[in-house]
Amino acid sequence: MLMKRYLAANWKMFKTAEQAHKTAKDIITNIQAKLQTNDEVIIFPPFTALGSVFKVIQNISQIQLGGQNFYPAEQGAFTGEISPDMLIDAGCTYSIIGHSERRHTFQESNDFVAQKVHMGLEKNLAIILCIGETLDQRQNGLLEKTLNSQLDSVLNNLSPSDIKNRLLIAYEPVWAIGTGKVAQKEDIREAHSLIRSILKKFLEQKSDIIPILYGGSVKSENSSEILSLDNVNGVLVGGASLDAQTFSDIIINSK
């Protein structure tokens, strides 16, 4: 089976509902007739804009909606949080979990990230699990150790059948996020093949169907090359996805 090509837009804490609606609409106008059959586009607006974006994408099967995060509980006294069921209710089929901004700004631990991944999969949300090393870890030779421990905590208690084709990994080196410093081809190749081999250790054959996305300063100028690398099955785009034309160019120009 041909692996899909995943093109994800993470809008972080940007855009009002109205702005998000317009950007999503413009993206659709630009790309709809040009999508490849195996393309899956996923838009992650802020929570307050999920409804307005859902209105524009709801009838387009190749464009999906996702939440940027959730709290791993059914419901309850968790002021300021949102549950997986609430995301599903808003039209989401995906969630990002463990983004480096959550890990570093909000001190989310590997164990907490693992709890969320498990609950999200149980709820049948597709989970994009973000992993990646800091510059310090890279410079100290800790790339493999870091990726291993980030994956280990999630995969340890997960059986291949729990995954149901709904776990995706995004390799996002922390030093390349929002910095304009894109990782070199060799760095991406190395990290993605490391991730593939760690996945194999836990999931055997099932590991081959897990897509691995790259994220970190992806732009229309570098997306083609990144998407052509071995073991790169998609991109998770932050800053460059805020502009409809730029994100559309990433999708259309990289074949």
Which residues lie near ligand PGA (CB under 6 A)? Answer: 10, 172, 177-178, 215-218, 236-240
Helix axes 185-203, 143-155, angle to 10 degrees: 40
Q: Name the residue number minimizing CB distance to ligand PGA.
A: 238
- Specify the residue, 211 or 215, whose C-beta has the smaller distance to ligand PGA: 215
* 104 is a catalytic site residue: no
H helices present in 92-216, as ranges: 100-105, 110-122, 135-139, 143-155, 160-163, 185-203
The least CB distance from residue 159 to ligand PGA, in Å, is 28
- Specify the residue, 212 or 218, whose C-beta has the smaller distance to ligand PGA: 218
Q: Which of 99, 76, 91 is nearest to 24 (CA)?
A: 91
Indicate the residue type of 230: D
- Specify the residue, 203 or 247, whose C-beta has the smaller distance to ligand PGA: 247
Q: Beta 126-131 vs 94-97: how paired, if at all?
A: parallel
d(CA 210, CA 191): 15
- Specify the residue, 203 or 213, whose C-beta has the smaller distance to ligand PGA: 213
Residue with tokens 């990144």: 226
d(CA 147, CA 253): 30
Could you tell me which residues are beta bridge partners of residue 126? 94
d(CA 54, CA 67): 11
The least CB distance from residue 101 to ligand PGA, in Å, is 7
The least CB distance from residue 131 to ligand PGA, in Å, is 12
* 108 is a catalytic site residue: no
- Specify the residue, 163 or 174, whose C-beta has the smaller distance to ligand PGA: 174
d(CA 216, CA 222): 11
The least CB distance from residue 239 to ligand PGA, in Å, is 3
The least CB distance from residue 96 to ligand PGA, in Å, is 8
Residues serving a catalytic function are 99, 172
